[in-house]
Amino acid sequence: MGRKKTTTRTAFGVLGRPLVCSYGGGRNSCAGLVGLKRHGVIPDRIQFSDTGTENAEKPETYDHIRLMSEWCQDNGFPPITVVRVATNVNAIDKSLEAHCLRTGYLPSIVYGFKRCSQRWKADPQHSDLTRWAPAVDAWKHGKKVTRAIFYDAGEPHRAEGLLSKPDEKLAWWFPLLEWGWDLERCLAEIETEGIPKPPKSACFFCPSSRKVEVLALAHEHPDLFTRAVAMEHGARANSTAVKGLGRHWSWEEIVQADRSQLDLFTDASQIPCMCFDGDDEE
């Protein structure tokens, strides 16, 4: 259940300016909402950008987002609004995965660009605001919408990047930076609130994944890993510029190598031990 009024007290002390939170689904954004509750600030809208159609992240991430949406409503916040490129009727591809499979290219970060976040995260959020009455009304009266981004105290450089590009419609606010909450404090606040620790939020095929995370994905979610490998196959058929989602290494090959190593140990355990064990009866 949402609130009837659309104004809120923000850290700017400005009434009548809608407050919209970008919810990433991970630890920082979870702690950010907890912090807003602690500071008596109620957001007007909370947006989570899904780069797929309920299948681009790991199942545990979606489970936690649903849990947090219930927590929001229990604490007088609006529920989390999920936005997607798929809501754009003119979009050729309804998900980042579909786009990669159709074009034969991997997410742009593999090639040294950072366009994924803009196209599949930021743009759907902005598109959602253009259809949200409080934002439309604010812009009509020459006011900005306040967007809260939950960068923690260890990431001031990320905030500087946004602040260096003034936006005519948005006023940026970085609550965690303002409060001085680092990752350790974020985790402590989440625990104090009694909320389960959120899993790392990222597309299951995120090229920024570490090798240990790729191995974990193959073990815990083999279906998702198979889909990621299909993306690698499509990209290799199109270009040899990169080896795979790891850019200089292939997810498929790293998992195959790991399994080969395990096979070696399995075979070794079946070789009879010839060591003297004290029972020789010569």
User: Residue ranges of the domains in the chain?
Assistant: 19-193, 211-268
Q: What is the pTM of this model?
A: 0.84
Q: Which CATH homologous superfamily contains domain 19-193? A: HUPs (3.40.50.620)
6 falls in which pLDDT band (50, 70, 90)? very low
Residue with the bigger pLDDT between 232 and 53: it is 232
Which of 65, 17, 83, 25 shows the shortest CA–CA distance to 44? 17
In total, the chain counts a number of residues equal to 282
Residue 270, CA atoms < 13 Å, CB-side half-sphere:
4
Q: Is 173 helix (H, G, I), strand (E, B) or coil?
A: strand
List pLDDT tens digits, range 13-52: 444 689 999 999 999 999 999 999 999 999 999 999 999 8
pLDDT in the model for residue 91: 79
List pLDDT tens digits, range 133-161: 999 999 999 999 999 999 999 999 999 98
Q: Which residues contact 171 (CB under 8 A, 6 or more apart)?
A: 12, 17, 144, 145, 146, 147
Q: How far apart are CA 144 and CA 153, in angstroms?
A: 25
pLDDT in the model for residue 278: 42
Percent of the chain with pLDDT over 90: 71
Is residue 265 pLDDT above 60, yes or no?
A: no
Which tokens is 153 given? 């105290």
pLDDT in the model for residue 86: 75
276 falls in which pLDDT band (50, 70, 90)? very low
Is residue 165 pLDDT above 80, yes or no?
A: yes
Q: How far apart are CA 37 and CA 260, in angstroms?
A: 50
List pLDDT tens digits, range 96-136: 999 999 999 999 999 888 788 888 999 999 999 999 999 99
Is residue 260 pLDDT above 90, yes or no?
A: no
Burial of residue 237, with CB atoms counted within 10 A of its CB: 0-12 exposed, 13-18 middle, 19 or more buried: exposed
262 falls in which pLDDT band (50, 70, 90)? low
Q: Which residues contact 40 (CB under 8 A, 6 or more apart)?
A: 9
Q: How far apart are CA 97 and CA 105, in angstroms?
A: 10
Q: Which residues contact 208 (CB under 8 A, 6 or more apart)?
A: 109, 202
Is residue 9 pLDDT above 70, yes or no?
A: no
> How many CB atoms neighbour CB 28 within 10 A?
25
Percentages of the chain per state (helix, strand, coil), in multiples of 5: 50, 10, 45
Q: Which of 6-20, 42-56, 226-240 bottoms out in mean pLDDT, i.e. has the lowest?
A: 6-20
What is the average per-residue pLDDT within 190-207?
A: 95
pLDDT in the model for residue 161: 86
Is residue 268 pLDDT above 60, yes or no?
A: no
List pLDDT tens digits, range 175-195: 999 999 999 999 999 999 999
Confirm if 50 and 24 have CB atoms less than 8 A apart. Answer: no
Check residue 21 and report its DSSP letter: E
Buried b (16+ CB within 10 A) or exposed e, 29-44: bbbbbbbbbeeebbbb
Which of 181, 116, 186, 175 shows the shortest CA–CA distance to 147? 175
